[in-house]
């Protein structure tokens, strides 16, 4: 497997286009699964671009705007360390930690999107997400640790190289399943969309409109894409595959995983944040720690 190398910063434009393409696919598939047409995102984008921004009394506009638009920026920063075949924008020696740090930023951004409008429904949505984040963050952190321990490195290029003989999803399926679940959770989608629930008039989405709403919705899809791309590198062998170039395989696997997560998210019911904490700490966390223990023992003994 060829060594992962960093490309010039100008290639970031291509990375943005690929994330936009995958995000568009996620939005189109989501619309189709929920009963709409494939072109529904086109109409929605056109509608939001024409819609005026809503203004509220005593709103903290800075926090509100940062919270809504920040999700898209965080998703792009996540992708910056993910190798596309043998190329990456930032070949960080702590790529796994970088991804985890960006994920934690999502906590603050969703809360800011709820606090900023000075609205009760949005505020409840922001605090709901914090409760949800407390449930998934520890399982996510230890699920991320498992491939790093197996590879003996926090650098994503080394994690990909360590999967030459077999993909990590075969050696650590629990960590893979937990990680994918947490990707859906920090994307505020499917069973983990209580922060934007209809019972609180849309929660963090209740007061946002126009371009602000478009950026927030795009950020949620971009987070799903970024998390799926990271899962491909950490568990599915990255660009490994027959006949096709590595970058093609990375894209094919990412699009496939995004599709699975979108469809699964639409098929499962929403979970209350308090029940989610119970599931996260009583079920997912022990399972992930057990998976990490098994991986660590195999590394030490082997």
| Assigned token pair, 295 | 């991986």
Tell which residue, 266, 293, 260, 218, has the closest CA to residue 19.
Answer: 218
| Assigned token pair, 67 | 């919270």
Tell which residue, 271, 114, 122, 117, has the closest CA to residue 202.
Answer: 122
Q: Under a CB-based contact definition with an 8 Å cutoff, are residues 174 and 117 in contact?
A: no
Is residue 87 within a helix (H) or strand (E), and if so which, with residue range? strand 87-88
In 116-245, alpha helices (H): 120-151, 156-161, 168-171, 173-186, 210-235
CA distance linking residue 86 with residue 108, whole number of Å: 33
- Residue whose pair of structure tokens reads 């959770």 in the numeric block: 185
Q: At what angle do helices 173-186 and 285-301 cross, to 10 degrees?
A: 140
pTM of the model: 0.94
pLDDT the model gives residue 144: 92
| Cα 68 → chain centroid | 15
pLDDT in single tens digits along all 302 residues of the chain: 667 778 888 888 999 999 999 999 999 998 888 877 788 888 888 998 888 888 787 888 888 888 888 999 999 999 999 999 888 898 888 999 999 999 999 999 999 999 988 889 999 999 999 988 888 899 999 999 999 999 999 999 999 999 988 899 999 999 999 999 999 999 888 888 888 888 888 888 888 888 989 999 999 999 999 999 999 999 998 888 888 898 999 999 999 999 999 998 888 877 777 788 888 899 999 999 999 999 999 988 87
């Amino acid at each position: 497997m060829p060594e992962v190398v960093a490309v010039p910063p100008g290639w970031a434009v291509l990375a943005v286009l690929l994330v936009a393409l995958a995000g568009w696919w996620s939005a189109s598939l989501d619309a189709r699964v929920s009963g709409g047409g494939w072109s529904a995102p086109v109409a929605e984008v056109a509608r939001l671009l024409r819609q005026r921004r809503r203004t509220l009394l005593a709103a903290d506009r800075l926090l509100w705007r940062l919270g809504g638009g920040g999700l898209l920026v965080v998703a792009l920063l996540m992708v910056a360390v993910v190798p596309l075949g043998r190329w990456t924008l930032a070949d960080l020696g702590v790529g796994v930690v970088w991804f985890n740090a960006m994920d934690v930023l999502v906590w603050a951004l969703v809360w800011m999107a709820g606090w900023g409008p000075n609205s009760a429904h949005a505020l409840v949505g922001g605090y709901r997400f914090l409760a949800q984040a407390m449930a998934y963050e520890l399982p996510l952190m230890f699920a991320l640790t498992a491939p790093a321990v197996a590879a003996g490195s926090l650098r994503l290029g080394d994690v990909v190289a360590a999967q030459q003989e077999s993909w990590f999803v075969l050696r650590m399926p629990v960590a893979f399943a937990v990680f994918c679940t947490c990707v859906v959770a920090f994307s505020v989608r499917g069973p983990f969309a209580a922060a934007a629930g209809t019972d609180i008039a849309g929660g963090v989405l209740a007061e946002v409109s126009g371009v602000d709403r478009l950026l927030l919705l795009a950020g949620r899809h971009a987070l799903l894409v970024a998390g799926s791309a990271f899962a491909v590198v950490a568990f599915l062998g990255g660009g490994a595959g027959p006949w096709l170039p590595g970058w093609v395989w990375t894209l094919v696997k990412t699009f496939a995983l995004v599709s699975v997560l979108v469809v699964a998210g639409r098929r499962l019911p929403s979970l209350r944040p308090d029940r989610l904490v119970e599931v996260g700490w009583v079920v997912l966390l022990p399972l992930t720690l057990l998976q990490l223990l098994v991986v660590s023992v195999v590394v030490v003994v082997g």
